[in-house]
Amino acid sequence: MSHYLVRYRRSTGDLLQCKDLGSDRARALGQRFEDERVHKDDPDIEVVLLTASSLEALLRTHARYFKTVSQLAIELAGALPDIS
């Protein structure tokens, strides 16, 4: 399993960083805490550490970080039953 450090701008939905930190959890947590410290005064920046078997798996399970609001809306609309 790999740990991915994700930095995300909440107001715009922009992915600012997605970095594969490898399998060392302690090192990955240290990186996350450092990134959170750097951005602690900016509530618009979200810093998360996600764990997945691959980047492809991460893209499926945490799509909100990697797709635009428009892309997510289109996918959601396609998944809903037609109620017309």
Q: Which of 11-15, 24-28, 70-74 has the lowest mean pLDDT?
A: 70-74
Q: Which backbone phi and psi does 7 adopt, to 5 degrees?
A: -120, 130
Record the tokens describing residue 14, joined without a space: 């922009």
Amino acid in the structure at residue 30: G
Alpha-carbon distance 79 to 73, whole Å?
A: 10
Q: What is the pTM of this model?
A: 0.84
pLDDT of residue 83: 64
pLDDT category at 76 given cuts 50, 70, 90 is confident
**pLDDT tens digits along 15-53:** 999 999 999 999 999 999 999 999 999 999 999 999 999
Identify which of 10, 6, 44 has the alpha carbon closest to the alpha carbon of residue 28. Answer: 6
Read off the amino acid at residue 39. Answer: H
* pLDDT of 81 higher than 80: no
Q: What per-residue confidence (pLDDT) applies to 70?
A: 83
> Where exactly are the structural domains of the chain?
2-79
